[in-house]
Amino acid sequence: MKVVILAGGRGSRLSEETDLKPKPMVEIGGRPILWHIMKHYAHYGFKEFYIALGYRGEMIKRYFLDYNLMNSSMTINLTDGKISSHRNAPEDWLVHLIDTGIPTNTGGRLGRLKDFLADGTFMVTYGDGVGNVDLSRLLAFHRSQHRLATVTAVRPPARFGAIRLEGDLVPQFAEKSQTSEGWINGGYFVFEPAMLSYLRGDETSLEVDALEKIASDGQLAAYRHEDFWQPMDTLRDLRVLESLWQTGKPPWKVWQ
C-alpha cells in the first residue's frame, strides 16, 4: 500500500517556525511532525511513502539522506573517509522524495504522482497533523464502500475551554480537546486510481476541485473518527502537541 504525504506547503500561519523550514519539518519532541506521521502509518504496516515536496523540499531530502547516520552510532575512518554504522537501519521504510513544485496546489501535487499511483488503491494524508486513526479499519471501511474515495471525518479541535452554567455558578469547567458537534476533513484519505482523472493540473485543489466533484458524483465515502485528531496550523497548536508529547503518553503515539 502506497502512502502519499502532501509536504509542499509554506505553512504561513506558522511563520515563526516555517520561515526557515518546511512545515512537515517542524519538530514535536525533537522529531519532525513528518516522522510522527510516518511512524503512525508504519505501525499499521504501510511503509512505502511518496512525499510530495515543494517549499524548502531540500531540507526533507537532507533529513532522509542523513537519517541512518543520525540515528545510529558510527565509525569514521579518517584515512579514506569510509563511514560504517553500528546497527541496521532504524526504520524499514521505502521513501520516495518527489519534487512537485513550490506553487503547486494540493491536487496538483497528487496529480504529479499519477504515474506512481496507477496500479492500485493508495492512501493520502497531509504533512501537518496527527491523530490516532485506526488505519486498518479505515482501509477496510473504504473497501466495503466500493467508492473512488474515502475521507476521514473528524471532530474539530476546540479552541477554548467549555463552561457549563447553572445560574451564576459553574458546576463544570473543562478544557476540551475537541468539540462534540460537527465534522470536518481530517485527511487520512484512501483513493482508487480512477480518482486521479479528477486532477486537471498544478492549480487543482484536492479539496475544492477534486473532492467536491467526486462527492457530487456519489463517489466519496466518510470514515468517522471520533477520537484524537490535531492539526498543526498555528504556534498554539504546536504548543499543544508538544505539551502532549511531554506527558509521555501522546494520544497519537500508537507505535512502541
At 224, which CATH number?
A: 3.90.550.10
What is the number of structural domains in the chain? 1
In a domain, 56, yes or no: yes
* pLDDT tens, residue order, the chain (256 aa): 999 999 998 777 777 777 888 999 999 999 999 999 999 999 999 999 999 999 999 999 999 998 988 888 889 999 998 888 777 778 999 999 999 999 999 999 999 999 999 999 999 999 999 999 999 999 999 999 999 999 999 988 766 555 556 676 755 555 556 655 688 899 999 999 999 999 999 999 999 999 999 999 999 999 999 999 999 999 999 999 999 999 999 999 999 8
Q: Flag whether 251 is in a domain.
A: no
Identify whether 119 is part of a domain. Answer: yes
CB 36 within 8 A of CB 252: yes
Q: What is the pLDDT of residue 37?
A: 98
Distance CA 256, CA 27 (A): 19
Instruction: Give the residue numbers spanning the domain of 60.
Output: 2-246
Q: Does residue 219 fall inside a structural domain?
A: yes
User: Looking at the domain assignment, is residue 215 inside a domain?
Assistant: yes
Q: What does the H/E/C string look like for the chain?
A: CEEEEEECCCCHHHHHHHCCCCHHHCEECCEEHHHHHHHHHHHCCCCEEEEEECCCHHHHHHHHHCHHHHCCCEEECCCCCCEEECCCCCCCCEEEEEECCCCCCHHHHHHCCHHHHCCCCEEEEECCEEECCCHHHHHHHHHHHCCCEEEEEECCCCCCCEEEEECCEEEEEECCCCCCCCCEECCCEEECHHHHHHCCCCCCCHHHHHHHHHHHCCCEEEEEECCCEEECCCHHHHHHHHHHHHCCCCCCCCCC
pLDDT value of residue 73: 85
Predicted pLDDT at 161: 54
The three cell numbers locating residue 80: 579514506
Instruction: Please indicate, yes or no, if residue 205 is contained in any of the structural domains.
Output: yes
252 part of a folded domain: no
Residue 181 domain-assigned?
A: yes
| pLDDT reported for residue 19 | 80
